[in-house]
Structure 1
Amino acid sequence: MPPTDASTDAGTTPVADSSDISEPAPAHRPENSDCQDTLDLRLPDELIALIAEQDTPRPARHEPDEDRREASGTPAPPARTSLSKPSMSKTPMTRTSMVENPDATALAGHDLLDDVGEWGPVTTAAGVFQLVPARIDRDLVLISRWMNDPAVAAFWELAGPENVTERHLRPQIEGDGRSVPCLGVLDGRPMSYWEVYRADLDPLARHYPARPHDTGIHLLIGGVAHRGRGLGTTLLKAVSDLVLDHRPQCARVVAEPDLRNTPSVSAFLSAGFRFSAEVDLPDKRAALMVRDRALRAVL
């Protein structure tokens, strides 16, 4: 917003040029009169006494603490003034500034996805399911083993030693909270890997018309025994419901499975997502899948 100009805010009544202002007619006075108009103004005695009292210097107060300091020889502390402003660097961070600064939000102990780890369990047709944020020390071996499954490696491209998976996980775990890697735990057993991420803050946003707080999900089913029986559809619906339940500002859940991964695209469609577009990403041609909050009860 441009700086406020005093001439624009002071009022709307125009000020006339002095040359256009007629002087008032002089008052009628008797000819040859040498009398002058005078005004006899007398201030009240109470006001005069008040002015005199304010002009009279007052003796400095001597506090008991000062007496003790003088007796002990301790120097007095520096004087404080109520007119000094607090340093800007010590101004408390407000909730608004945290929202505008994602890094500040993460430093304050919040991720950018409304605390995925606090969403809790949900009951599904397959059992009790919960997203548990991943930890390197606890989960690296398991997730790395899943990444080396040929069916998974074909699309995730993270096969190899454990440090390959670690390089994928660590930036998310130690980052600003815009992507949260999780284990999917079904009836107490970890059986899938998920990434819940802010699609509007992801490079994906360059390839589709992103909206604020769009939330994306990635998924892999870890165990062969859990594949091919519709479990992906059940869990995709459960997780997208969790996103919409716990992220009120999110109007859409999005995903971008590889267009070649027909079973994955089919699972998204069965879970209430709609096919939005084909998207050319740097590493694949993807199917942009969208689940709208407004159509949640319909699809």
Structure 2
Amino acid sequence: MSPTDASADAVSAVSTDVGTGACPDESEDSAARDLGQGSDSEDTLDLRLPDELVALFEEGRAGADAATADAAAGHGHGHGHGHGQRSWSDSTNPRASRAPGGDDLLDGVADWGPIATPAGVFQLVPVRVERDLALVCRWMNDPAVTAFWELAGPQNVTEDHLRPQLAGDGRSSPCLGVLEGTPMSYWEIYRADLDPLARHYPVRPHDTGIHLLIGAVTDRGRGLGSTLLRAVADLVLDRRPACARVIAEPDLRNIPSVTAFLSAGFRFSAEVDLPAKRAALMVRDRSLRDLL
């Protein structure tokens, strides 16, 4: 089930009702058909379907044909497991998935490296299910989080949310946020322009979305959400030169979350109706990053 969102300070859980990058409930063809549609607002841009998305569809069809052939021949597929634990600073991307042409759809989140923040050194570390599942599941079962992410329950509920992203084409990367060597938040960095979200706002190529959940109660309610949102938005803009905007869509009723985004340099762009909420479309523009 796709998450909704919680306060970036009270819970710091920012997410979407229409897909987290794994897109379990929407077809790629339907999302692509609406890609580039918009209004006459200042964010509108007439687009053609990106070449990389067209190629991605073709690759997906070829992969589906190959999978069908394997199934007919009786071939099975298992999940690999790592050997031993790595330190947080030595973690690598558990997915080697690449877009057509060899380009990572998110420009290698695992290689983005640390960033200095007023709260300390922060780094996004891609999730490894065998190492991180229990921790993320515990956060998802926090009563303050449950109502927004809708992922409460046993570990298999959380695992079913993580695995499609990890096994997908690389358009969504679930990560732990590690602050001063301690994992303390859960993030999803995703290609908003390749997500079903794209049909609900005037999308631009390489728009990048973020979802955030701060895990520990002691880390909430003291402005840390805004600090980390600004830091991660800066990482996206620095590491993804083709991306001109960072996107988020907190629930419009979630005033603390919207306030956190505004404090992090995002601007309120519009109200958008998503399948399970009315959201505030928040945008951080590359062109305004030094002004907000």
2:263 maps to: 270
Q: Which of 217, 227, 232 is the matching residue for 1:234?
A: 227
Per-residue CA shift, 1:56-90, capped at 9, x if unaligned? Answer: xxxxxxxxxxxxxxxxxxxxxxxxxxxxxxxxxxx
State how 1:5-84 maps to structure 2 within 5 Å: none
Cα pair 1:217 1:254 within 8 Å, conserved? yes
AA of the residue aligned to 2:216: G
Q: Which of 188, 193, 196 is the matching residue for 1:203?
A: 196
**Residues 108, 139 of structure 1: alpha-carbon distance in 2 compared, 3 angstrom cutoff:** farther
User: What is the alpha-carbon distance in structure 1 between the residues aligned to residue 183 and residue 141 of structure 2?
Assistant: 17
User: What is the alpha-carbon distance in structure 2 between the residues aligned to residue 128 and residue 167 of structure 1?
Assistant: 31
User: What is the alpha-carbon distance in structure 2 between the residues aligned to residue 192 and residue 114 of structure 1?
Assistant: 21
1:259 maps to: 252
Secondary structure of the structure 1 residue equivalent to 2:253 = coil
CA RMSD in angstroms, aligned pairs only: 1.8
Q: Which of 115, 122, 126 is the matching residue for 2:119?
A: 126
Q: Give TM-score, length-normalised by structure 1.
A: 0.65
1:169 aligns with 2:182: no
Secondary structure of the structure 1 residue equivalent to 2:107 = coil
1:160 maps to: 153
Instruction: Look at both structures and tell me which one has the larger radius of gyration over its CA atoms.
Output: 1
Q: Which of 52, 56, 59 is the matching residue for 1:102?
A: 56
Q: Percent identity?
A: 75
User: What is the alpha-carbon distance in structure 1 between the residues aligned to residue 146 and residue 154 of structure 2?
Assistant: 13
Cα pair 2:53 2:194 within 8 Å, conserved? no
AA of the residue aligned to 1:197: Y
Listed as ranges, the gaps of 5+ residues in structure 2 are: 1-49, 60-97
AA of the residue aligned to 1:248: P
User: What is the alpha-carbon distance in structure 1 between the residues aligned to residue 224 and residue 118 of structure 2?
Assistant: 9
Cα pair 1:180 1:195 within 8 Å, conserved? yes
AA of the residue aligned to 1:279: V
Cα pair 2:272 2:280 within 8 Å, conserved? yes
Secondary structure of the structure 1 residue equivalent to 2:138 = helix
User: What is the alpha-carbon distance in structure 1 between the residues aligned to residue 265 and residue 229 of structure 2?
Assistant: 9
Secondary structure of the structure 2 residue equivalent to 1:130 = strand
User: What is the alpha-carbon distance in structure 2 between the residues aligned to residue 133 and residue 108 of structure 1?
Assistant: 23
Secondary structure of the structure 2 residue equivalent to 1:241 = helix
User: What is the alpha-carbon distance in structure 2 between the residues aligned to residue 284 and residue 164 of structure 1?
Assistant: 22
User: What is the alpha-carbon distance in structure 1 between the residues aligned to residue 279 and residue 174 of structure 2?
Assistant: 21
1:146 aligns with 2:146: no
Specify which structure has the bigger relative contact order, considering alpha-carbon pairs within 8 angstroms and separated by 6 or more residues: 2
Aligned residues: 204
The offset of 1:111, in angstroms, is 3.0
User: What is the alpha-carbon distance in structure 2 between the residues aligned to residue 281 and residue 274 of structure 1?
Assistant: 19
Secondary structure of the structure 2 residue equivalent to 1:285 = strand
Q: Give TM-score, length-normalised by structure 2.
A: 0.67
Per-residue CA shift, 1:117-138, capped at 9, x if unaligned? Answer: 0000011000000000001101
**Residues 142, 252 of structure 1: alpha-carbon distance in 2 compared, 3 angstrom cutoff:** same
AA of the residue aligned to 2:251: D
The offset of 1:108, in angstroms, is 7.3
Cα pair 1:244 1:293 within 8 Å, conserved? yes
Q: Which of 268, 287, 292 is the matching residue for 1:294?
A: 287
Secondary structure of the structure 1 residue equivalent to 2:204 = coil
Cα pair 1:193 1:220 within 8 Å, conserved? yes
AA of the residue aligned to 1:273: F
User: What is the alpha-carbon distance in structure 2 between the residues aligned to residue 262 and residue 278 of structure 1?
Assistant: 13
**Residues 108, 223 of structure 1: alpha-carbon distance in 2 compared, 3 angstrom cutoff:** farther
Q: Which of 97, 104, 108 is the matching residue for 1:115?
A: 108
